[in-house]
Amino acid sequence: MYIHINSEYLQLAEPLITKYYDFHSSMLYDEICQCVENSGIDYNKIINGTLTIDFDQSFRENKNLTFLATVPYKKSITEEFSSYFIILDNDSTEEEIVTDDDIVYMCLIFMSYIYYKETNNLFNQSCLIADLDLEYESVLHNRIYPEILSLYKIILESKTKKNRGSKVTITYKQDKIGINSCAWFLDDMEKYFRDRFPDLNLEKINQLIPDNKGKAGRKFNNRIINNLIWGTYQLLYNHHSRFKNSKTRISEEICQFIIDYLDCLEVPHDLILVNVRDWLKDMLKRGYTPQWDLPWRNAFSNIKEKQPENLSEKVNNPLHKYDLSNI
């Protein structure tokens, strides 16, 4: 099955797929580069006297640019959901009005290709990787930051009213040390982390490092299915004409639509209507946030560390660069 990804339509859909599915333009980096290079347009720019090539910007500026993506799905989204959408005619000479329903349809189509790339390990083969210090970034975002914030989380939790006065146990091999939550060590460590990560608090850390104590029967550890269910539900409920004025928060029709969409994408699952409804109730209650784990971008990629503010600080307090030789 072929998917046409057009610059103008992608930009119309991008705000919603970013908000509801955690889409990022780098997910289509390879396709956009190839499309621009083969288009014949001049993508070289001189900015402040320097030759600059920005494929993404060139793709956005030329709204008629389109690239063809191939996916192996046996079911067609267009045919499966024909009663929900009036499909835009690319060959029509008349100016067409793009409706909210049309944008929802575009989102579903584009995300079907993102899912295909994820499940076929294509992100790990992206040309973007060669342009990044990926080894360092990957270790920082996948190992070092989770370890640092896990310790910060323990310290902040020990300071809550519920845990105040209890001991925090730090273990190294066979050695253990129990520290009172009011001890100088935890106070100093809390100050250090608060200064280093001024935008983080316990609530934000819990979002980055969830407890993973989902209710029995809930598959909250399946990130991909979570993203697809959450994003598709939010699209339909908030933007599709058939659902957005509904008094029913989670209708059977929406749940069935989600199941059919997963089937179109050949997502392995054993979901029935009641599962999807209960799943969505839990996600809404927990304030679920979609997150894709790309080689160059995950939940920890947006963490902001305190930056040196002037030349003196840059010289005397440069940003810490970890030695990865022993990791």
Distance CA 232, CA 242 (A): 14
Greater pLDDT, 210 or 72: 72
Percent of the chain with pLDDT over 90: 48
CB-based burial label for 138 (10 Å; 0-12, 13-18, 19+): middle
pLDDT tens digits, one per residue of 31-79: 999 999 999 998 887 777 777 788 999 999 999 999 999 999 999 999 9
Residues 18-32 as b/e (b if ≥16 CB within 10 A, e otherwise) read: eebbbbbeebbbbbb
Closest alpha carbon to 151 in 174, 136, 172, 175: 172
- The amino acid occupying position 63 is K
How many angstroms from the chain centroid is the CA of residue 177? 38
Q: What is the pLDDT of residue 214?
A: 47
Is residue 115 scored above 90 in pLDDT?
yes
259 neighbors 271 (Cβ within 8 angstroms): yes
277 neighbors 111 (Cβ within 8 angstroms): no
Across the chain, mean pLDDT equals 86
Closest alpha carbon to 121 in 295, 323, 321, 270: 295
Q: What is the pLDDT of residue 95?
A: 66
Closest alpha carbon to 111 in 307, 267, 250, 298: 267
Per-residue tokens: 48: 């402040």
Greater pLDDT, 215 or 318: 318
| Overall pTM surpassing 0.95 (yes/no) | no
pLDDT bracket for residue 131 (50, 70, 90): low
Distance CA 154, CA 57 (A): 43
**For the ranges 74-83, 94-103, 283-292, 313-322, which has the lowest average pLDDT?**
313-322
pLDDT tens digits, one per residue of 266-277: 999 999 999 999
Is residue 90 scored above 60 in pLDDT?
no
CB atoms within 10 A of CB 178: 10
CB atoms within 10 A of CB 60: 17
